[in-house]
Every structure is written in structure tokens, then in C-alpha cells.
Structure 1
Amino acid sequence: MNIRRSAALVAATAVIGMATAPAALADASAPSASPSVAIPSGLYGKTDPTYDGVWRQSIALVAQDTVGVKPADKAVDWLTGQQCTNGGFAAFRAEPGKECDKKTLVDSNSTAAAVQALVAVGGREGEVTRGVDWLKKAQNGDGGWGYNVGMDSDANSTAVVIGALVAAGEKPADVKSGRGKTGQDALAALALPCSGAKDGGALAYQPDKKGKLAANADATAAGVLGALGTGMAPGKGKAPDSYVCKDGRTAGDLAHNAAVYLQGQLSTRLYLKAVTPGSTKSQPDYGNTADAVTSIAAAEGVKYTKDPYAWLEKNAGDWAEQSGPAAYAQLIFAAHATGNDPRDFGGTDLVKALNATGPAPSSTKAATADEKKKDDGDGGISVWYVVAVAAVAGIGIGFLFSGRKKQQL
């Protein structure tokens, strides 16, 4: 949902106040620079975690839960240790024992991803509650969320936050700003109409300086899952009556129209392309393609995902191996949503590969219902709170992620 930028770019834009994706989602195809800090033993991935540590850890844990893997306690403990007392998470804190202060860049994406992960592993209700409280306080007046508090809302941040709310048992339609707006309202404002506009059905990351909307594939994939009210690892959806974009403002309309746009993008060459800022050369965007496949399958079923998924199986293995846990997680989500086996992804066992990037899991077998109940405790929060589209009409959530600033082609 793509994470859709090198770590250095992410850092720079975050510092100067520009919303951007976590490094893993920002550009999982670009290797991080040599680590400037020691890699904690409980952390997944061996590249510099300064700008994406919490993000990659979180989506790795969600992906493991999706395939029945119970992570090592030290992996979960590392994540909970990153939380500030106010409930928020920064991208990475090298000194988790040190109290967070005003200089700690707590952000919505890291916090929302961590909430989803902690719900998935179970037994961390206190941390989840504090994280959700922080997210509610960070909501903008238009109902959405920006990357950092005070930033304008963007589709990707709004998306991942709604996923966290749903995972934690909240009804996003009830989470309103002081102006009475919801995350759905924020997403609807970023959707291009089906008629009278180029790229109808797509979502923009944010309006430009003149208030105009431009289609962004990453934001669109995020918007699909947000409108559906799912988290990072949705299941396969039901085929619609029509694959045509039709104007409408409900959650179901947003998800359908955005999926139709993505279908059109993938129908021409099976994958999405991106142009790195400052360059005229384009290249396959593996992460965003995986996100698009996941979102389309969740909204429309697998009819339009078979060929793009096959393309990923053939071409994305080297990218995932180079990029690490976040990339493996994205591919696992795509396999899960399309009903494919992530342990046989073009000859690669994605689950085994993901597990190998961090501490050995406690178990690689799916927990029974009784075991999960025991882990959660009485009154525990369900892994994915099921919300009917009708109940979330007027909501929205993005996919994995915070917006890519690459030009999507």
C-alpha cells in the first residue's frame, strides 16, 4: 500500500518540513548509506535505521503475523521501546532510554505503523491505546493527517493512520476533527473526479500550490485500502459489477474508482514506472507495483492482478533482496491479497527471506485461536477490526504509506 528516495532525501525533507515517506517506503529500491548508528539486535534489516527503523520493523511484524509467524520477543520489545511517553513514535531513536523532547521528530506514519504491528502481535494494549490517543490529537481540521504534526494532510499519511485506527478497534467515521471532518473526508477531497478530469478516479498526494490535484499512483494505492477500512495486509476482495470509474463520494466509490485507475496503469506494461527527482530516466517501481496489486486485489478481486503479480514474481526478487524487510513485507502483502503462496514467489520463499533479516522468530507456525486469545488477554484488541464499507462510508486510509515525491508514470 508504495512505500512507496534515498534515506538522505527523506531525512532532509523531514527536517525542512516536507511530508515524505519512510525510507523503506520512500524508495525501497535505493540502498541506505552505511549505518551511522549501531544496528540493534532486535531490529529487522541491516541498513541505517535512522529514517525508517520503526517503519520497517512494524511492517515486518505485520507481514509475519499475516503468514502465521510469531516474532522474537526482542523484536517486539525493540519496537515498544521506541515509543515516547506521549504515545507517538519517531522514525528511530538511537537512545530509547532517553526521554523524548521537543527535538524528537515524532510522526504519524511511524506511529500508525507501530500501532498496527503491536495490535498484530497481541498483548500490547497499553502501547496501542497511547499510540491511538496520539494519532487522534494529531488529526488536522480537514480530517486527515500530515507526516508531522502541523503539516498539511496527505493521502498516504491519512491512509496509514486510518489503518491503525481500524486495527485498534476504532471506527474511523467516529474519529472527527474539531471541524467535524473524518479521514474519509480528507481522502475524498484528494480524489480526481471520473468525468471531466484526466486520470479520473486517482488520488493526489496533496494539492499543489495552486490547489490543483495531480494523480499519484502511490497515494491512489493507499487510498484504496483507506476507503476499504483495511490495514496493510488486506484479503482478496469481491469482483464488482462494473470496472468503470463512476463518480461518487462514498468510501466504496473511492476504493472502486481508485482501483480502476490503477488497473488502467498496470494494463499497459504490467508495472508502474517512476522517475527519480533530478533525472529524466525512468525505471520500474517495484514497491509501488506491489502496493497497487495489493490494493486492486483488495477492492476488485484478482482479475486484473494475475499478470502484474506474475511480473513481480519474475522481476522483483533482486530488488527485495537488496532492499530488505520492508520490500519482502510488501511482496508478502501482495501474495496474501491475491491468494498466492508467499513461500513460493517465483522460487523465493518470501517468509524465510524476511525472517532472515532479523532475530529468529519464536515460532513459524500459525497460532491457534485459543493461543491468540491468551496472548491478547481478556478484552484484547482483534488483529484486524472488521468494518463494513457501509459503516466507513466517508472514510479513507492510504496504503502503507506516506507519499512518494517521484513522478509516477
Structure 2
Amino acid sequence: MPTTARTGAAALAAAALLIGAAGPALADTTPSPAAAPAALYGKGDPTYDGVWRQSLALTALGSAKVVPAASAVAWLTGQQCADGGWPSYRADAATACDPKTEDSNATAMAIQALTLLGGHQDAVTRGTAWLRTVQNADGSWAFNPGNPGDANSTGLAVNALLATGTDPVGVAKGGKTAYDGLALFQIGCLAPAAERGAFAYQPAPDGSLKANDLASAQALLAAAGGKLPVTNTNRVDAAPKPLDCTVNTPTVARANSAEAAGSYLYTQLSGNGQHLLQTTPGAAATPDYTGTAWAVLGLVQSGHPVQAAPAADWLADHGYDWAAKGKNGTDPAAAALLLLTAEAAQLDPYDFGGTNVVQLLIDAGPAPESVPAAAASASSPAPHNSAADDDSGFSPVWLVGIGLLIGIGGGLLLSLRRKRAAAQHPGSPSSGGTDKSGGTDKSEGDGQK
């Protein structure tokens, strides 16, 4: 049951919001975010992730047998550029794309979504052809074409190829296949034992590779021959095999790639309470929900659902706030990953740690065309222990705090009215005869990647 403090905190936040509305706005030079179109999942600024999150949402809902709104699918197909690629987002679909803004990650995810939904073969074919044209000479893919490749983008491109039934071995530049490109980023036997099998995001300037957990998690799905949604039911009862370094080779053979990456990630998950960590220089490590979800998907795809299960359970227990309580409400990409994780791990997406993640995602976008019977009869998206279920009262401490904030807000409002009156009547006693300033309201902007 939520504490009184949690409810009181919400009330204080509401009081602060009222005060902010009454008082003068502070100067803010942050550009206003782009408004999310009605057909898009999520309310946050879509500038950097519009196509990505729409594609993830449609993939997850499609895997749950939800038929999405036609407007949501039309928005995604309408974002495609004339040459077949997708940008991260374009506000005006009638304006021709700038090729420099086209994004291999968004394209790869859109291809998987539209392939799953069916009925969009032309868009899928053109998108796949575009991926072929922007493959680097070493077999890899970059986020934006023309840049050095990276493990995440290469892995996602491989996922898209597999989704369309295209063998990545047959997609090559200069004799280097898509799998050759992926292998460039995997750490072999010359590295310390703790890093072997992991993927680096990109090589360092000196060519060395440093283990990156998110890159390892996203690349694992591709190395294991997977795509979204993950539906693999193969099972290997033993844990993933670590890289065999009886012979110290700098590269990892294709046949050993998924097992080696899976072993690295399984070790990381086991050592960190069944989740991955993300580190920022100068700050304490924090849980990496995204990386953990991709690790579960990759482990299941590589035949290790038993080893993936504890991490899936951790996401079920801790993922609600991450997916549902962002600054813009529900994060559709996060909710979609939770749904995909639940289904890959063969857990109930309608009761994933007490959260109905199917409904959570449905509520983040336009009303679907239809939902399966299980969705229609399921409970609300909030978990059983969410703040929404809290009916406890306020403690006197919280009530005093609210009263103080309201009092301060009233004082600010009174002061503002006096200043406005003084500006209109410079000779009045409150003006001092000199105040001619005016307040300008500016909306507070934010950006989202």
C-alpha cells in the first residue's frame, strides 16, 4: 500500500503547479518542444524518437493481437522518405526528406513493425532496399548514413533483414556481410576475461574495444538470429557458454557469437541484482531498464529463457515507474519493451508484476481498431500497489506544507498585481515612479531522445 507521504507529495506538486500558474513566468530560453501528433503514441516531443517509439508500440501491440488504429499505422508509413528510409521524425510529411536526417535505427524498427502488421509490402521493400544502399564498406551500419558503423545500429539492421526473410549473409558491401559488420564490435580472447564476448558500441580511436552493456544486449538479438517480436521457443537448459579461449583469437567466430555475448550479459545480470547498469561519469550507476529488456529478449532468442527469467521478473517488479511515470506520462517505447519482454519470457502481459502493460500502451495512443477478449476483460494498467490505489489521508505535516506553499503563491500573485498596477499608473505609491517593466509568459520546453 502506498504511503501517506507519496500522496502528500502529489498534493504538494499540485499546489506548486497552481502557484506557478498564478505567479510570473521565469525567463526560459529553451526551445518549445514539438507537439506530438494525435496519431502518435506518447505525449512527449517526437523530434528524436517519433518513428522509433511508434514502431516499437505497433510491434508490441501487434504481438499482443491488438489491431491498432489505422491513423497510427498511416502516420508511420507517411513518415517514410521517397528513397525508402525513415528519419527520426519529420513534422511536415509533405516536405522532402533531407537524406542526412534519415536514421537506420528508425528504419529498421519501422520495417519490423510493418512486416508484422502485414499489408505494407511496398514500404517494407523500399525500406529494406534503403538499408542495403547505406551499408558501410565494412559490412556495418551507422545511425545516420555516411558515419562509422556501430554495434547497436548494425544489430538493428540485421533484425530488420531477418524480419523480412532476408539472410544477412547475402547482404554485403565489398565482400563484407552484415554478420561480418556485427563481428567488428565483439570482444575476443585478447581482452580481459570479464569483457570477452561483449560488444563495444564503437572502437576507440586506437582501435580497442570496450564492453558496452546496451550494445551487447541489442547485438545479442541479432547474433542469435532474432527479430521483434521474439517468439523463439528453443531451450538450452545450460547457461550460455563463455568464449573458449584455449586459443587466443582477437575475433569471435559467427558460430560462437550469440553464446559468448549471452554469457557476458548473464554474468552482468547475475552480478547486479538481475538488471544491467548504466553509468554516467561523475554519477552513481543507475538501473538500465532498456538494456535489461533487450538482454532478456536476446537471451530468450538464443535459447536461454531460464537464464533470462530472473531479469524478466525484475522488470515486472520495477518497470512500472520507468514506463508510466515519465515527465510526459507513459513512455510508449518503454511500455512496448515491457510488453515484448513479458511475451518473450512467457509471462502474462495483462498482469506483469501487477501491471496491465497492454492497456498501458493502448492508453498512450489512438484508440485501437480492436482488442482481443483478454484485453477487453483485463484490469486497469496501474499495478496493484500504485499510488492510484492509495486512499489514505494527509498527515498534518503535509497539510502544513501545502498551506505554506499556497500562502507563498498568494503573496506572489498579490505582488504581481501590484507591479502590473504600478506599470499602468507610474505615479502611484507602489510604483516608485520608475517601474515600466512587463512580464512575458514563456512555455517551458523540454527535449526527449
- Does the alignment reach a TM-score above 0.5? yes
Q: Which residue of 2 aligns with 1:86?
A: 83
Code of the residue aligned with 2:316 in structure 1: it is E
After TM superposition, give the deviation of residue 316 of structure 1 in Å. 1.3
Distance 2:43 2:71 in 1: 16
After TM superposition, give the deviation of residue 255 of structure 1 in Å. 0.8
Q: Which residue of 1 aligns with 2:187?
A: 192
Residue in structure 1 matching 2:276, options 272, 277, 283: 272
Matches within 5 A, 1:39-50: 39-50=36-47
Verify: 1:123 aligned to 2:119, yes or no. yes
> Where has structure 1 moved over 4 Å in runs of 4 or more?
none
Residue in structure 2 matching 1:170, options 166, 169, 175: 166
Instruction: Tell me if structure 2 keeps the 8 A contact 1:301–1:338.
Output: no
Q: Which residue of 1 aligns with 2:290?
A: 287
Q: SS where residue 302 of structure 2 aligns?
A: helix
Q: SS where residue 63 of structure 1 aligns?
A: helix
Distance 1:155 1:141 in 2: 15
Residue in structure 2 matching 1:180, options 172, 175, 179: 175
Code of the residue aligned with 2:201 in structure 1: it is Y
Distance 2:230 2:52 in 1: 18
Instruction: Tell me if structure 2 keeps the 8 A contact 1:228–1:251.
Output: no
Identity of aligned residues (%): 42
Matches within 5 A, 1:59-98: 59-98=56-95
Instruction: Tell me if structure 1 keeps the 8 A contact 2:81–2:96.
Output: yes
Distance 2:223 2:253 in 1: 8
Residue in structure 2 matching 1:337, options 332, 338, 344: 344
Instruction: Tell me if structure 1 keeps the 8 A contact 2:239–2:307.
Output: no
Aligned pair in 2 of structure 1 residues 363, 34: CA closer, same or farther (>3 Å)?
farther
Code of the residue aligned with 1:272 in structure 2: it is L
Matches within 5 A, 1:357-396: 357-365=364-372
Moved more, 34-43 or 147-156: 34-43
Which structure's relative contact order is higher, taking Cα pairs within 8 Å and 6+ residues apart?
A: 1
Distance 2:239 2:364 in 1: 42
Distance 2:237 2:106 in 1: 33
Aligned pair in 2 of structure 1 residues 59, 242: CA closer, same or farther (>3 Å)?
closer
Instruction: Tell me if structure 1 keeps the 8 A contact 2:163–2:228.
Output: no
Residue in structure 1 matching 2:206, options 210, 214, 222: 210
Q: Which residue of 1 aligns with 2:434?
A: none
Instruction: Tell me if structure 1 keeps the 8 A contact 2:81–2:97.
Output: yes
Distance 2:114 2:305 in 1: 29
Code of the residue aligned with 1:133 in structure 2: it is A
Q: Structure 2 regions of 5+ residues with no counterpart?
A: 1-29, 245-250, 374-449
Instruction: Tell me if structure 2 keeps the 8 A contact 1:191–1:204.
Output: yes
After TM superposition, give the deviation of residue 202 of structure 1 in Å. 0.6
Distance 2:321 2:31 in 1: 20
Q: Which structure carries more helix by proportion? A: 2
Q: SS where residue 325 of structure 2 aligns?
A: helix
After TM superposition, give the deviation of residue 305 of structure 1 in Å. 2.2
Aligned pair in 2 of structure 1 residues 206, 196: CA closer, same or farther (>3 Å)?
closer
Code of the residue aligned with 1:292 in structure 2: it is A
Instruction: Tell me if structure 2 keeps the 8 A contact 1:132–1:165.
Output: yes
Instruction: Tell me if structure 2 keeps the 8 A contact 1:155–1:190.
Output: yes
Q: SS where residue 307 of structure 2 aligns?
A: coil
Distance 1:300 1:148 in 2: 32
Aligned pair in 2 of structure 1 residues 271, 101: CA closer, same or farther (>3 Å)?
closer
Moved more, 143-152 or 223-232: 223-232
After TM superposition, give the deviation of residue 350 of structure 1 in Å. 0.5
Distance 1:135 1:239 in 2: 33
Distance 2:31 2:302 in 1: 39
Distance 2:372 2:171 in 1: 36
Distance 1:76 1:137 in 2: 25
Q: Which residue of 1 aligns with 2:98?
A: 101
Instruction: Tell me if structure 1 keeps the 8 A contact 2:141–2:149.
Output: yes
Q: SS where residue 278 of structure 2 aligns?
A: strand
TM-score (norm 2): 0.71
Q: SS where residue 41 of structure 2 aligns?
A: coil
Q: Which residue of 2 aligns with 1:376?
A: none
Code of the residue aligned with 1:271 in structure 2: it is H
Q: Which residue of 1 aligns with 2:52?
A: 55
Q: CA RMSD in A?
A: 1.9
Code of the residue aligned with 1:222 in structure 2: it is Q
Verify: 1:147 aligned to 2:150, yes or no. no
Residue in structure 2 matching 1:220, options 212, 216, 219: 216
Distance 1:196 1:39 in 2: 45
Aligned pair in 2 of structure 1 residues 242, 315: CA closer, same or farther (>3 Å)?
closer
Code of the residue aligned with 1:270 in structure 2: it is Q
Aligned pair in 2 of structure 1 residues 333, 194: CA closer, same or farther (>3 Å)?
farther
After TM superposition, give the deviation of residue 287 of structure 1 in Å. 1.5
TM-score (norm 1): 0.77
Verify: 1:308 aligned to 2:311, yes or no. yes
Superposed CA offset, 1:108-139 (max 9, x none): 11111111111111111111111111110000
After TM superposition, give the deviation of residue 190 of structure 1 in Å. 1.3
After TM superposition, give the deviation of residue 347 of structure 1 in Å. 0.7
After TM superposition, give the deviation of residue 155 of structure 1 in Å. 0.6
Distance 1:76 1:300 in 2: 32
Distance 1:68 1:166 in 2: 21
Distance 2:297 2:32 in 1: 31
Code of the residue aligned with 2:180 in structure 1: it is D
Distance 2:78 2:341 in 1: 29
